[in-house]
Amino acid sequence: MSDATSPNESPDFDAMTRDIAEVPAVEVIVTVAVNLMSAAAVKLGLTEDGDEHKDLDEARKLVHALAGLLDASATEISSFHAAPLRDGLKSLQLAFREASAVPDEVGQGPGEKYTGPVYG
């Protein structure tokens, strides 16, 4: 993307649009999925700071959104891209179940609407 602008300059939106136009859809989908996974991991307390940023309500939303994205894009991205994302999603779902004081019923956890039941 373009270089950063000073506070008095406006960003070069034409250059940004050109940059985005050159990115394949699969790369955009995978990037969004990885961002959702990273944010969910933080909200699950899986980072070095652990409990400092832990928020299971927020984690639930992020894991659910990730599952929906992967379900919706399954036919659009190859298994080369999808398999590690599905593995990461399942790990997050299991981490959510373990972090919950009162775990959801099997099949009712975040994203299980799209992935099916996740057993711990």
Q: Which amino acid is at 96?
A: F
What's the CA gap between 89 and 98, in Å, rounded?
Answer: 14
Q: Taking every pair of C-alpha atoms in the chain, what is the biggest distance, in angstroms?
A: 54
Residue 77 near residue 58 (C-beta atoms within 8 A): no
Quick: pLDDT tens for 7-35. Answer: 667 778 777 776 888 899 999 999 999 99
∠ Cα 76 84 109 (to 5°): 90
| Residue ranges for the chain with pLDDT beneath 70 | 1-8, 18
The beta strand positions in the chain, using DSSP E, are none
Extract the tokens encoding 13.
Answer: 């939106």
Q: Is the pTM here over 0.85, yes or no? A: no
Provide the 8-state DSSP code for 3: P
What's the CA gap between 101 and 4, in Å, rounded?
Answer: 44
